[in-house]
Structure 1
Amino acid sequence: MIDLTLDIEQYDCPFVAATDECDLAFSAVHWEFDTARRQTDSRMVVEAVDRGALDDGLDVLRGHDGLADYDLLSRRDNVAHIRTSVGQTDAMATIRDNDGYLTGPSYVEDGSELWHVGFDDSGEADAALSRLDRSNEVTVVARREPDLPELQGFVQNVGAAMTLIEGCRDLSDVERQTLETAVQGGYFQSPRSATLGTLADEFDVSKPAVSKNLRRGQRKMIERVVEAIEELD
């Protein structure tokens, strides 16, 4: 198996068009290709910077020629859950013509889309990439050839991976930003190149406050890591 991660700008994709014009992003929750209708049915989570950007982006999406069907399933503030049917794009036709298949969810932001695509052999993958380059802007972000034990381990440990992802989602914005700044600044290195004092200055708070945010973030992530380790076992 050849596993590709592609950053692709499809000129005929309604999701790309919406993110190109408006400040929002689409994350695929579920997708399925209908061979009879030659359309991709999907459920997407849409997140925008604010309610206005969400309204504008959904308007662009609904007005695109490539959108065959649309339904707003739910909405809260600047986040929406939608169901769509999209006609087969040139890029998707290329993937399917070369016996390729999607191996993971897509993510669309700033006018480009991140795809995870699989092929059974390198010849099919190379042929698809060559054709994709003719009609789309494509960058190969990663190319891997996992062996059978690695594939088996990936499938078996999806639950552990989701546990870690949920841990990241549990973090508040302040906790996440504090952890990121601490790691990037070298707080956890030995010797430290950042201190509680420098972190406190960065966020304009007291040392006890930044220490509290660090400890809360670390506790949440460590608890999830332990859960993931247990699932791996």
Structure 2
Amino acid sequence: MIDISMEMEQHDCPFIDTTLDHDVSFSAVQWEFDVSNHELETRMVVQGASRSALNNGMTALREHSNMYNYQLRKRWDDTAQIRTVIHETDAMDRIRSHDGFITGPFYIEDGSELWHVGFDSAGVADKALSELDHNNEFDVMSRDEHGGPLVQETVTNVNAGLELVDACRDLTEVEREALKAAVDQGYFESPRGTTLNELAEQFDISAPAFSKNLRRGQQKVTRHVVQTLESLSESDTDGLDDGPFGK
């Protein structure tokens, strides 16, 4: 298999257009391509340079002519998670027409998009890149030939990492501070480096109140950790799927 990493500049991509005009970036969390309707559904994390930059960027994205569906799922100050559905771009069509597939998450910033795409052979990859050059601008950053297991492991590990990041974003500020203080001061070590009473005094609250904040944070993080472990376990037996562009 041929695995290619490239910087892509599509002229019909709403995410790229938005980063050209606004100080925001997009990171893919999950994606799925609807072959019958030629539409790409994505769940993205949007990071703005400020709250206003995020507001302006999301408004521009929502109003883009190639945006079919837009939903705001969560928001944390200058960061948000969105679900979008866009129409198939020219670059997607070029890749799919040569049975190409995505081998890793993509990232969009300052008018360009980082892609990781795979092809079954070098000849097919060359033909796809030749056609891709007709209406798109791109630079190949790396080109490697290797087997599927390595790619599968890479994608699985990246997705697992994103799930844990999402878990941290679910924490409230109080829960985050409680967890950080407990870890930093050795509360979970054996023997303990501190006590609930000592931790609670630092936040000027009672020990039961601090314990409640700590347990809530632990429950949220632990739940995501278990989900991540289940995903890693399933990846040991499941094959790599067709990626966001389908087959």
Same-fold status (TM-score > 0.5): yes
Deviations 1:170-214 (A, max 9, x none): xxxxxxxxxxxxxxxxxxxxxxxxxxxxxxxxxxxxxxxxxxxxx
2:76 corresponds to: 76
Give the TM-score normalised by the residue count of structure 1.
0.66
Which AA in structure 2 matches 1:6?
M
State the shift of 1:103 in Å.
1.0
Q: Which has the higher contact order (CA 8 A, sep 6+)?
A: 2
CA distance in 1, matches of 2:106, 2:60: 19
| 3-state secondary structure, aligned to 1:25 | strand
Task: List 4+ stretches of structure 1 deviating above 2 A.
Answer: 147-152, 154-159
2:29 corresponds to: 29
CA distance in 1, matches of 2:108, 2:85: 16
2:173 corresponds to: none
Which AA in structure 1 matches 2:157?
V
2:121 corresponds to: 121
CA distance in 2, matches of 1:109, 1:21: 11
CA distance in 1, matches of 2:117, 2:22: 26
CA distance in 2, matches of 1:143, 1:72: 36
Q: How do 1:157-172 residues align onto structure 2 when only pairs under 5 Å count?
A: 158=157, 162=161
State the shift of 1:89 in Å.
0.1
Q: Count matched residues.
A: 166
State the shift of 1:149 in Å.
6.5
Aligned-pair identity in percent equals: 47
For the aligned residues, what is the CA RMSD? Answer: 2.5
Give the TM-score normalised by the residue count of structure 2.
0.62
| 3-state secondary structure, aligned to 1:105 | coil
Q: How do 1:84-123 residues align onto structure 2 when only pairs under 5 Å count?
A: 84-123=84-123
Deviations 1:130-149 (A, max 9, x none): 11111111100110001466
User: Which consecutive residues of structure 1, in runs of 5 or more, have no partner in the other structure?
Assistant: 170-230
CA distance in 1, matches of 2:139, 2:26: 19
CA distance in 2, matches of 1:102, 1:68: 22
| 3-state secondary structure, aligned to 2:20 | helix
